[in-house]
Amino acid sequence: MKKFFEDIKKDIKFKSAGPGKKLAEGGSSKPRVVQNSGPAKPHHAAPTEGAQKAGAAAMARIEGQPRPRAQTSQDAIRLQVKRELEAEAAAVAATEKEKITAVEGSSVKDPAFLSVTGVYFTCPLTGATLTKSEREVHIKEAIFMRFEEDAVEASIMMVHTFNKDREKVKAAVDIINKYIENICKNPTEEKYRKIKLSNKVFQEKVKTVEGSREFLQAVGFQSIMLDVEGQEESEEFLVLMEHDPEALEVMKESMDRLQRGEPVRAQLDHQPQTFRPSSNAMRFELPPEFYNLTAEELKREQQQKSEAVEKTNMLRTKAMREREEQRERRKYNYTLLRIRLPDGNILQGTFLAWDKVSVLFQFVRDSLVDGWQPFELVAPGGHKLREAQELALNECNLAYPR
């Protein structure tokens, strides 16, 4: 625009300079003087009609052109929307932070009545303390490490721990026992000391059970490729080389151990704790691990059931109430119990809901300095528990959420 006005000024000066002359004219000729009515004042000279129109049009465009505004530019609009979204997200985040802070603040418990942080287990092989999610992986690793010390024992653990279908395990163990019985009865017969891995029975009954092949190799079988009559390619066999009577006796003992084997399971850690007398002794704060349902679902369900019971309590028979109680008992895997001692202190422990009453008695006995002294346990409601009872804790109404 600046250049446009400069061009107008130049045009005005050019036209006010008068008529020009050709370059071919002699340089000696004097320039012609143009007589003006007044003194020449170029800066006051009026522009031509065309220049005036051009200037007026330019000024009109300048004055009429809207100034750039953020709300009319696409980029500015996008930027504005982005800023609004960011501000909205920041507001939501601040609200969520306030909620979390409020929840965290309300979840801080006084050590005097803090329950437990979770359910924990102890590995019987390593003694490590594990969470529920860590149990299976840790036990498998511990069993594999056991092969360096005792391959027979480790393979037996594999058979009984890694396979959940007990019927399949029993079928595989029976077939392996038949292999070994035949060898012990006919130690010189070569056919009994060879197991063809492509055999249908082996494929369907033995191979499908983890640890079965490891057991056979641990007792002396070796993997060997042998030629098969009528076949061009050789096949894999597990072959037991000739053994002396003493080695066969050891193999029979290993077979007995396999038949008596049990799964390796992580043991529940009772997490014994003691608390001084407190008004919060009856307050239980339990983590979600104590329930099959989530805490929210459980609270909602309990509320709904309480409302339903209040409405239909007069119509329910004793048998109906007992059936409902049985369903309730099966819902809880764990229970947290507190025992008030004679001196007022409180002993706390975590138990399986189906643990026998005798487990609770033993827990108390192990926790006392003079555990040999006789004592009694009285459940809420005033009824005495008997150690000889074969009742589970949930059957004694000791596995309900507080």
Q: Kindly state the tokens that stand for 353.
A: 């809901």
Instruction: Identify any residues that bridge with 277 across adjacent strands, giving them in sequence order.
Output: none
Q: Which residue in this structure is represented by tokens 């009609």?
A: 49
Nearest partner of 183 among 257, 223, 237, 241, judged by Cα? 241
List of residues 6+ apart from 127 with CB closer than 8 A: none
Q: How much is the average pLDDT of 137-159? A: 94
Q: How far is CA 244 from the centre of its chain?
A: 54
Q: Which two three-digit tokens encode residue 383?
A: 């009824």
Token pair of 49 as six digits: 């009609």
Mean pLDDT for the chain?
75
pLDDT tens, 271-304? 898 888 777 666 767 666 665 555 565 666 667 6
Whole-prediction pTM? 0.59
What distance in Å separates the CA atoms of residue 138 and residue 162, rounded to the nearest whole number? 12
Report whether 183 contacts 239 (CB < 8 A).
no
Question: Are the C-beta atoms of 117 and 286 separated by less than 8 Å?
Answer: no
N-terminal to C-terminal alpha carbon distance within the chain = 84
Q: At 377, which helix (H) or strand (E)?
A: strand 377-378
* pLDDT, tens digit (0-9, with 9 covering 90-100), for 89-137: 566 556 545 443 433 433 334 434 447 778 899 999 999 999 888 889 9
Contact 258, 159 (CB under 8 A): yes
Helices 245-260/151-161 angle, 10° precision: 30
Count other C-beta atoms under 10 Å from residue 398's C-beta: 21
Taken in order 195, 201, 203, 205, is the CA torsion positive or negative?
Answer: negative
Higher pLDDT residue, 222 or 402? 222
pLDDT confidence of residue 396? 84
